[in-house]
Structures are given as structure tokens and as C-alpha cells.
Chain A
């Protein structure tokens, strides 16, 4: 599905952000990419759709070598790669619907997009996605009128409206509270399961990464230092990625969060039953 081969990126200032990163993702796998700030997580996922130009190495999407594409071909390749951003990156002054439909820009011509005359199938699909993320009644609101969690849902709908074959997710929960973070992660993973969609989720919350992904890759100073299932992410592995820290205490805090949430959900179900 996606194959990354010896990827490296050195920025103009001489900072080596990535060196010799290689891995492969099969269809339907949700990959959690963890690592400290500045480890190259964002650079890595941006090299995949070439928002950042890699210096060395190759990225293969099925049989397509993305690193070798020219402008027009690159745009066609980007259509197949949906991206969800940190801080949502919605166009604030556009409506929710326009933001979702902007996922179709790679498929329609300029005049259609300029006049907002998208094909009927695209519009129906956009409504279906808004319904899926629970924002049906907000379609005509301006994006900046929504709350953080709602905006990230629009971001998810926008990425999905591309009908992507791969989802790149950059710190989806960075500006959300713990509960909303969980809901957003759950939604992303559920959707990936529904569609058999592979995803690379770049996330700095280790516990969320472990809870929601099938596989974890740990980056440290631009190199892969861990690659395995979440269950194998031992304290030694975490220390290798992040440096020494009291991991047990962190896990305990997160367990309490999850327990509180489970309790809340049970409570809600009881109330629903009573009604």
C-alpha cells in the first residue's frame, strides 16, 4: 500500500529532520507515529504528500513513486491522500460545507469550484460525511463559529471527501481537551475501520497512540527507534524514544481518565435505558 524507502530530509539551514526512514503499511493499518517535539514526525508525514520536499529516499503509494512526480501528477496523487491537521487548518471564513467540498478541489475544474457548482454526487457525499461526523445542522455556518472538537470533525469530513486511499493525520488532538481528544481519535479510527483505510497518525500522547493504533513507530532525532505493536511498547522503549521519565505515573493518570470516561458512558446508557 504505502512504502517508504530510505527517506531523508535536511532543511536549508542544515537541520537534519529525517534520516533513512523506511517502513511499509498494509491496507487498513492504523499506524501511530510517536516521538518528542522536533523528532521529525510532522516532516515525515508531510514528505508523504510532498508538502515538504524530501532530500533523499522514495515514497511509493501502490505503484506510484510520489517523490518523482511533477506538479500536475503530484496534484492527482494528493487527491488520493487525505490529511487531517493540528489546529484543524479549516479555512475560517468559509462555511462548513465549503470546507468539506474543498476536499473535491483536485477533482473539479477551476470554474466549477469558483462558482461553488460542485457535482451532485460530491454534494450528497459531503452531506453524508457531515451526518457521519454529527454536524449535519452546521453545514451553513462559518467554520470559525464552531468549537474545537466540531472543527476537527469538519477537518475529518474534508479529508474523507477526497475519497482517499491513505489518511495522514498530524497531531489531531493537540488543541483539544482530553475527552474530546478521545472522541476524535475514536472517530478517526472507526472511520478507518469502516473503509479499510490505512492511516498514519502523528501523535504525542503516548497513551492515546497505544489505545487506538495497530502499530507504533517511535521516532527519535529523525530515526526510527521503535517499530512494533502497541503491546510491545515497554518502558525501555519509551525511554529510548523520549529519554528517562516516570512512565508508570503517566499511565496511571491516563487510566484514571479512561475509567472516568467509561463510567460516564455507562451512566449515560443507564439513563437512556431508563427513558
Chain B
């Protein structure tokens, strides 16, 4: 058979929208919407200019950070944040383990699965700052509200990822344990835990990172920690102290990032 009989042109079939008309219409529509949407954002140019001069002072403060004049406040804030981070991560992970087990479709009965998935959905749908505002309103300013916020957020994060990891396990290993006459808890301990443990530890270390960063944010809405100190410094226009605090936060995050990466290398 000669080559002439085969087509000489080939085009990749479109991934989503089959019709050529709708492909173009949707693209044009999206561009028009983007232009119109940008047009509705009002810019107050006088305010921007004022902001730029503030930014200048802020950058100056950053370049000459003042660690000393408010050092007591800073250290109290840091200690509070670290305490909050550590306790909430431990408590959050401990609570998320049973919830993650319950939210794994392959080992939990349907009713338990639905309950655990909804707990995770609620925890994940609320941003930390919103939860923090809620807990501050309930329990007052301070680290306790922050601890509850971060624990709650950790449950959604670890619970979801743990459940997904359990759903991805090698079923043959679990089946072999089930075939020995093991009970459900023994199945979890022998057939599932060894398969998901490295990832659970990795995720917990990662969550420790996230919780520290979040502790700085939720402090701004009154949930204690270094965020509170930062907010106070900004409120007093002490940009040099604020700069110092930001530098400390960056340093701690980098140390946490590096050391968790280092630890995770040993887990396999």
C-alpha cells in the first residue's frame, strides 16, 4: 500500500470543548469579562502615593530592624507562638488519625465515612483567620484561642491527606493480614500503619511549618503569639520592630523547613 493513502496531517483532538464555535466563544467571553472586571476596581491614586511613602518607611525599618527596644514583647510572642504551634500540631495530628481512618473509603463503613468526611470538609472550608475570630469571640484573646484554631485546621489537613493515603495503599498487603483472622484494629496496625506511617510523619512535620506561619497570622486577630506582637508594633508605627519580628519569623520558618526536609529524608 502506498503512503499516499494515509493522511499527512494530524491535529491533537481538543481536550475539553469539542465544538470550534464554543471554544472561540468561551475564550472571547473570558477575555471580555477579565477586562470589564479590571475596570470595576477603583484606584485612589492619592492614597497610593501616601501608601508608597509608608512603604518607604517600612522598608527602611526592615533594613534597620530593631530587636532590642521591644525585645521582651518579641520573645514572649515567639515563645507563645512556638508553644501554640507545637501543642496544636500534636493534638491536631492525634485527633486526625481516627478521623483519617474513618474517612478512608476502603476500611470504614459508609456511615462512619460520611461523618468523618463532613468533619474534614467543615475544617477545610473555614480559613484559619475566620476560625480564629470565632474562637477569640468564644474564649477571649490569647494563646488558647490560637491553639484551638490551629488544632482544628490541622484536623482537616492531616485527616484528608491521611485518608487519601490509606485509600491508595497496596490492598494485597491488607488482604493478607485480613486473611489471617486479624481484627479491624490489628489490620490497621499491621496492614495499613506500616504503609502510611512515613507519609504521616512527613505530613505532620509539614503541618508544623504551616502552623507556625499561621500562628503569626491569627495573632493579628487576637489569638496570641507573635502575630499579636507584630500587630501591636504596626499599630504603633514602630516599623523597625515590625521588621525585626518579620525577620525572626522568616528565620524560624526557614529553620523549620530545612530541618523537616532533613528529617523526611530518613523516612522511607
Contact = CB atoms under 8 A, between A and B. Distances in A.
Contact of B179 (A78, A91, A92, A107): A78
Most interface-central of A81, A87, A93 (chain B CB within 10 A): A93
Interface stretch (A33-41, A97-105, A222-230): A97-105
Contacts of A91: 173, 176-177, 190-191, 194-195
B162 to A, nearest CB: 16
Contacts of A158: 176, 180
B181 A105 contact: yes
Interface in A141-160: 155, 158
Interface in B98-143: none
A106 B183 CA distance: 7
B172 interface: yes
Contact of B180 (A87, A92, A102, A114): A102
Contacts of B57: none
B182 A106 contact: yes
Interface in B166-185: 170, 172-173, 175-183, 185
Contacts of B173: 89-92
B172 A113 contact: no
A52 to B, nearest CB: 10
A103 B178 contact: no
Contacts of B179: 49, 51, 78, 81, 83
A186 interface: no
A85 interface: yes
Nearest to B176: A89
Contacts, number: 81
B194 A92 contact: yes
Contact of B177 (A76, A92, A102): A102
Contacts of A87: 172
Most interface-central of A94, A103, A105, A158 (chain B CB within 10 A): A105
A248 B182 CA distance: 46
A75 B183 contact: yes
A220 interface: no
B186 interface: yes
Nearest to B194: A93
Given A87-B172, A98-B190, A106 B185 contact: no
Nearest to B196: A93
A94 B190 contact: yes
Nearest to B185: A110
Nearest to B175: A51
A114 B197 CA distance: 15
B180 A103 contact: yes
B192 to A, nearest CB: 9
Contacts of A103: 180
Contacts of A162: 180-181
A98 B183 CA distance: 16
Contacts of B182: 75, 102, 105-106, 113
B189 interface: yes
Contacts of B185: 110, 114
Contacts of A106: 180-182
B266 to A, nearest CB: 14
A98 B172 CA distance: 17
A43 B173 CA distance: 17
Interface string A110-144: 10011000000000000000000000000000000
Nearest to A76: B181
Contacts of B175: 51, 85, 89
Contact of A102 (B170, B172, B190): B190
A213 B49 CA distance: 90
Contact of B172 (A49, A75, A79, A89): A89
A171 B197 CA distance: 29
B190 A113 contact: yes
Most interface-central of A86, A91, A102, A158 (chain B CB within 10 A): A91
Contacts of A92: 170, 173, 194-195
Sorted from nearest, which 4 A-B pairs have the closest CB atoms?
A: A106-B181, A78-B181, A105-B182, A79-B181
7 contacts: A78-B181, A87-B172, A89-B172, A90-B173, A93-B197, A102-B177, A106-B182
Given A92-B173, A92-B194, 13 more contacts: A49-B179, A79-B180, A83-B176, A83-B179, A89-B175, A89-B176, A91-B176, A91-B195, A93-B194, A105-B177, A105-B182, A105-B183, A162-B180
Interface of B: 170, 172-173, 175-183, 185-186, 189-191, 194-195, 197-198
Interface of A: 49, 51, 75-79, 81, 83, 85-87, 89-94, 98, 102-107, 110, 113-114, 155, 158, 162
